[in-house]
Amino acid sequence: MRVFMSLMLAVLLGLVAQTSVAQEPSFNDWLVELRQEASQKGISQATLDATLIGLEPIPRVIELDRRQPEFTWTFRDYMTKLVNDVRIKKGKRKLAENKKLLNEIGQKYGIQPRYLVAFWGLETDFGRLAKGYFPTIAALATLAHDGRRSAFFRAQLLAALKIIDEGHISPARMKGSWAGAMGHFQFIPTTFQAYAQDYDGDGKKDIWGNQADAYASAANFLTKSKWKDGETWGREVKLPANFDFNLSTKKIKKSLSKWQSLGIRRLDGRNLPTVDIKASVITPAGAKGPAFLVYGNFRTIMVWNQSIFYAIAVGHLADRFVGLPRLSSLGPKGDKGLTHEEGRALQERLAALGFDPGGTDGVVGPKSREAIRNFQRKAGLVPDGYPSPELLARVKKGL
State pLDDT tens for residues 245-286: 999 999 999 999 999 999 999 999 999 999 999 999 999 999
Give the model's pLDDT for residue 2.
46
Alpha-carbon separation of residue 380 from 248, 291, 373, 377, 383 (angstroms):
16, 21, 10, 5, 8
Give the model's pLDDT for residue 65.
86
pLDDT of residue 79 exceeding 80: yes
Report the percent of the chain where pLDDT is more than 70.
93
Helix (H/G/I), strand (E/B), else coil: 331: coil
pLDDT of residue 198 exceeding 50: yes
For residue range 279-290, list pLDDT tens digits in order: 999 999 999 999
Give the model's pLDDT for residue 71.
65
pLDDT of residue 338 exceeding 80: yes
Give the model's pLDDT for residue 69.
61
Domains of the chain from N-terminus onward: 2-68+132-188 (1.10.8.350), 234-321 (1.10.530.10), 340-397 (no CATH)
201: left (phi over 0), alpha (psi -120 to 50) or beta: left
How big is the CA angle at 136 (ends 303 and 185), to the nearest 5 degrees? Answer: 35
- The reported pTM is 0.91
Give the model's pLDDT for residue 3.
44
**Among 296-300, 334-338, 345-349, 371-375, the least confident range:** 334-338
Q: Closest Cα to residue 10, out of 56, 73, 75? A: 73
Backbone angles phi and psi of 360, in degrees to 5: -130, 55
Q: Name the average pLDDT for the chain.
A: 93
For residue range 15-52, list pLDDT tens digits in order: 444 444 446 789 999 999 999 999 999 999 999 999 99
Q: Closest Cα to residue 324, out of 332, 312, 335, 316? A: 316
pLDDT of residue 172 exceeding 80: yes
For residue range 112-162, list pLDDT tens digits in order: 999 999 999 999 999 999 999 999 999 999 999 997 789 999 999 999 999
For residue range 285-319, list pLDDT tens digits in order: 999 999 999 999 999 999 999 999 999 999 999 99
Length of the chain: 399
Residues sharing a CB contact under 8 Å with residue 136, sequence separation 6 or more, in sequence order:
160, 174, 175, 176, 180, 182, 189
